[in-house]
Chain A
Amino acid sequence: MGLIDNINKLFDHRIRLGIMSILMVNEEVDFNRLKELLDVTDGNLASHTKTLEKAEYIKIEKSFIGKKPNTRYIVTPSGKMAFKKHIEALEQLIKKQ
């Protein structure tokens, strides 16, 4: 088994990696804030958050602020674990070279 096996394929993408990085250090973040930080389109962001939700790495909470729908994202404990593992794998790979 090579070190490369510890790299999480789901995080091997700029936007998904970005979403996880932001959620790791914030209790919850809403859709617009994510969009602004990552500088991506609505559709692009929505499809990547869906992927992460399917893997149960993040939780999506929908509510209304007045009449406006508000979607917030929260990292799950298993998402935190997976992300930490991924970072460790990155570190190992860099150290080896």
Chain B
Amino acid sequence: MESKKYLEDISQIKDLMNRSSRFISLSGLSGILAGTYAIVGALIAHFYLIPQQGGYVILHSWNFKMIVGVLIAVAILSLVTAYLLTSKKAKKNNEKVWDETTKRLLINFLIPLVTGGIYILIKLNSQHYGLTASLMLIFYGLALVNAAKYTIGKVRYLGYLQIVLGLICAAMPGYGFWFWVLGFGLLHIIYGSLIYFKEEKA
């Protein structure tokens, strides 16, 4: 009798709660591509910019500026890709990309990330490069965990993994570069693939 109507009520409540407070999940492909950009960027830095055996990068040198440039390029490319693919996905599902929820998602993502970025720059200016990779992983992980409240996907777990990786990295000086590749490259690709295949199935 009435029970069908009540079930409809419940599903409407759920749908509106989700749609009004949680941003649609990022497309899996953007994760895979972000990871690929990170690895390509790291390879360029490894073979062309970081001096081999015994040498080190001096602040304000040409190499240093180029490495920072590669990092910024990777970040911008990843963001643009994520934005383009997500808006495409949103359009397909008839959802809006830019609304209250997205704004909240972005603000919550940027607070830890910008804090970390500024902190790393301050440390670099006083010649402390040692922990850069570790700090990047930790702050990026915190940003993901903080933003996860506003997404439907499982970004939270990617955040936890980045934080753990960052902490291990801090305990193993000298391997920063490889941890960076593992976190920003490999983890993104694995996470992106998992989401991508789930999307394909759905």
Contact = CB atoms under 8 A, between A and B. Distances in A.
Interface in A15-44: 17-18, 21-22, 24-26, 29, 33, 36-38
A63 interface: no
B21 A26 contact: yes
Contacts of B10: 87, 90-91, 94
Interface in B1-32: 2-3, 6-7, 9-10, 12-13, 16-17, 19-21
B21 A25 contact: yes
Contact of A21 (B2, B3, B16): B16
Given A37-B19, A90-B6, A93-B6, A21 B12 contact: yes
Contacts of A29: 20, 100
Contact of B20 (A22, A87, A97): A22
A14 interface: yes
Interface of B: 2-3, 6-7, 9-10, 12-13, 16-17, 19-21, 96, 99-100
Contact of B3 (A17, A24, A37, A97): A97
Contacts, number: 46
Contacts of A33: 20, 99-100
Given A25-B21, A33-B99, A18 B6 contact: no
A36 B100 CA distance: 11
Given A21-B13, A22-B17, A26-B21, 13 more contacts: A17-B12, A17-B13, A18-B12, A18-B16, A21-B12, A25-B17, A25-B21, A29-B100, A33-B20, A33-B99, A90-B6, A93-B6, A97-B3
A97 to B, nearest CB: 4
